[in-house]
């Protein structure tokens, strides 16, 4: 192996390490994106769905008996207590406190957000951008490795490399 070939292989290894570092940075960016909260409207919609489900589940526990009837094991007071025990948020909604519960849950979610909110569409665009960039870098690494193999040298592949690139005939 000539001196220039050894330098070429060393440069290829350095390029691959740089690209792998960029892949780690992209993985970190993707993880941070997943941690970013939703915008307030989307939080409100999810809270609304959650409360509606809880209210339906609480209704399964409640049967309203006639007013003034004595409290027995099958009376409305007893079943409302069971609803509170199993689905407290739904039971509060049944008692007319739904709006207060909604405001409290949304307010707490917005207040506890440590990062800037991002809409669902923006999040998807950013995921797509990160995935495309990751795919491009993975293909570039595989091209460099194949070029080194063509010269008779070996460069170790990442065991977690995308199999689409490793197994592809043409990149």
How far is the CA of 125 from the CAs of 35, 95, 117, 128, 131, in angstroms? 16, 42, 15, 5, 10
Looking at per-residue confidence, does 86 or 34 come out higher?
34
The pTM of this model reads 0.63
Q: What are phi and psi for residue 38, nearest 5 degrees?
A: -80, 165
Question: What are the pLDDT digits (tens) for 13-46?
Answer: 999 999 999 999 999 999 999 888 888 888 889 9
Q: What contacts 63, CB < 8 A, 6 or more positions away?
A: 74, 76, 79
CA distance 103 to 115: 21
């Amino acid at each position: 192996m000539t001196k220039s070939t050894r330098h070429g292989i060393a440069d290829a290894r350095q390029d691959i390490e740089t690209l792998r570092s960029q892949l780690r940075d992209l993985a970190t960016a993707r993880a941070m994106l997943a941690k970013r909260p939703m915008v307030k409207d989307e939080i409100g919609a999810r809270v609304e769905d959650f409360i509606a489900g809880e209210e339906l589940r609480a209704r399964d526990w409640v049967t309203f008996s006639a007013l003034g009837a004595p409290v027995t094991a099958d009376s409305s007071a007893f079943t409302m207590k069971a609803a509170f025990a199993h689905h407290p948020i739904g039971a509060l909604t049944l008692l007319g406190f739904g709006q207060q519960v909604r405001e409290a849950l949304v307010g707490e979610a917005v207040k506890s957000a440590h990062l800037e909110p991002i809409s669902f569409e923006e999040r998807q665009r950013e995921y797509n951008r990160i995935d495309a960039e990751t795919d491009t870098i993975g293909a570039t690494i595989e091209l460099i490795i194949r070029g080194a193999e063509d010269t008779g040298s070996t460069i170790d592949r990442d065991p977690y490399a995308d199999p689409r690139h490793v197994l592809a005939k043409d990149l």
